[in-house]
């Protein structure tokens, strides 16, 4: 008998009082978080294991999720960091030669509360029109405690995100033929960032988010990578101050997503929270130097305000073709460049993977 016909009820309550009734899959219980949506057609396992989604209830706009199952190779980290998961329909019997299991069992294994069989198109329109808002997914009927839940939602914020997801000790990864040594800051990094470096001959030393400039200097790296991660970038005052010291080491730096935002803040720029963020694998980005437009994968709710970057520090190198927000910075005061999007994305477009080659070139040549 189909699992769909036997599914228990589950609900999503938004902070504005809107209530969606659907069905439960994955784990059971109640979870509060920030409701966001992502437009990716594939890559749901990567989404579920991306630490940048910490504290968020993720809605998939694509209506069928789980049709190719899950496997042991495609996770971006060892666990799932999403608070909850919302889909229109999940595939009970996936089919793919790499499939090792289904998404329902995957969510249960990682203790992620799921909700399906709701109108995700309506939910997405609410978020687009009113902005990201808090919500609660629950497998307990919320009608009797709606006011109590709404109070919890009004008080909820994503806090201590980086300190929650970062590693606690350094880890080393060796390539087959070592050419470079790169320190990768773990602000909530995705495994494919590390893999892109390793396959280019980099020994990668993953370090905790609060590793100091002196500790980095002692490792004698050829390059420094500032990773993606969750939360409000401006909250990370200790890390921002440390980046200012790291810049003085004169080592080439490449930043992605949160790393891009933190470096901008360290150099006097400001960030802002976007109305509903950029999440998905189809975000168009314009390279201002070449004039080319690339299709990129993105996952962020904050952006650097481009015109706040001090002229003596650097300049905007990429912008989003839709809303013209800052998507990249090239620094002139020191050897560094950063991007808001994900050039390592899997699944997603590989249009901008050449940026890893530029990082390698900078380690070879220094400032161009």
SS3 187: coil
Contact 192, 47 (CB under 8 A): no
The yes-or-no answer on residue 346 being catalytic is no
User: What is the DSSP code (8-state) at residue 33?
Assistant: E
Q: Is 55 helix (H, G, I), strand (E, B) or coil?
A: coil
Which residues on adjacent β-strands are paired with residue 26? 113
Q: Report the C-alpha gap between 194 and 203 in whole angstroms.
A: 9
Instruction: Point out the catalytic residue in the list 34, 76, 196, 344.
Output: 344
Concatenated DSSP letters of 75-86 = -SSSS--BSEEE
Measured between alpha carbons, how far is 43 from 275 in angstroms, rounded to an integer?
Answer: 24
| Residue from 76, 257, 300, 327 carrying the catalytic annotation | 257
Helix (H/G/I), strand (E/B), else coil: 317? strand
Angle at 216 between CA 181 and CA 194, to 5 degrees: 45
Q: What are phi and psi of 207, to 5 degrees?
A: -125, 150
Q: Give the residue carrying structure tokens 């912008």.
A: 319
Q: Which of 300, 318, 342, 346 is catalytic?
A: 342
97 token code pair: 């030669």
Look up 342 and say whether it is catalytic: yes
The shares of helix, strand and coil residues in the chain, as percent rounded to the nearest 5, are 30, 35, 40
Q: Do residues 26 and 85 make contact, with C-beta atoms less than 8 angstroms apart?
A: yes
**Residue 184, token pair as written in the block:** 């990768």
Residues recognised as catalytic: 257, 342, 344
């Amino acid at each position: 008998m189909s699992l769909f016909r036997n599914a228990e009820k589950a609900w999503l309550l938004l902070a504005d009082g809107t209530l969606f009734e659907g069905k439960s899959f994955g784990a059971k219980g109640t979870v509060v978080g920030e409701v966001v949506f992502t437009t990716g057609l594939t890559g749901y396992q990567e989404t579920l294991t991306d630490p940048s989604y910490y504290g968020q209830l993720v809605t998939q706009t694509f209506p069928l999720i789980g049709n190719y199952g899950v496997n042991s190779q495609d996770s971006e980290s060892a666990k799932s960091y999403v608070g909850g998961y919302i889909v229109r329909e999940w595939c009970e019997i996936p089919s793919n030669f790499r499939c090792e299991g289904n998404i329902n069992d995957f969510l249960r294994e990682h203790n992620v509360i799921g909700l399906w069989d709701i109108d995700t198109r309506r939910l997405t329109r609410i978020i687009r029109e009113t902005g990201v808002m808090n919500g609660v997914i629950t497998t307990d009927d919320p009608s009797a405690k709606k006011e109590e839940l709404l109070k919890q939602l009004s008080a909820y914020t994503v806090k201590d995100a980086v300190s929650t997801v970062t590693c606690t000790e350094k880890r080393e990864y060796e390539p087959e033929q070592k050419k470079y040594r790169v320190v990768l800051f773990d602000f909530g990094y995705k495994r494919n960032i590390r893999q892109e470096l390793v396959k280019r001959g980099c020994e990668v030393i993953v370090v905790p988010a609060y590793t100091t400039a002196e500790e980095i200097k002692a490792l004698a790296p050829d390059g420094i990578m500032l990773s993606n991660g969750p939360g409000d970038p401006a909250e990370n005052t200790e890390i921002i101050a440390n980046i200012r010291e790291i810049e003085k080491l004169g080592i080439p730096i490449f930043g992605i997503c949160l790393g891009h935002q933190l470096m901008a803040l360290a150099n006097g720029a400001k960030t802002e929270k976007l109305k509903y963020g950029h999440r998905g694998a189809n975000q168009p980005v314009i390279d201002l130097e070449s004039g080319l437009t690339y299709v990129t994968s993105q996952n962020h709710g904050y952006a650097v305000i481009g015109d706040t970057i001090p002229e003596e520090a650097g300049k905007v190198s990429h912008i989003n073709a839709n809303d013209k927000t800052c998507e990249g910075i090239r620094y002139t005061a020191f050897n560094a460049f950063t991007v808001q999007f994900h050039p390592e994305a899997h699944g997603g477009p590989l249009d901008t993977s050449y940026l890893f080659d530029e990082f390698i070139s900078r380690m070879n040549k220094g400032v161009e």
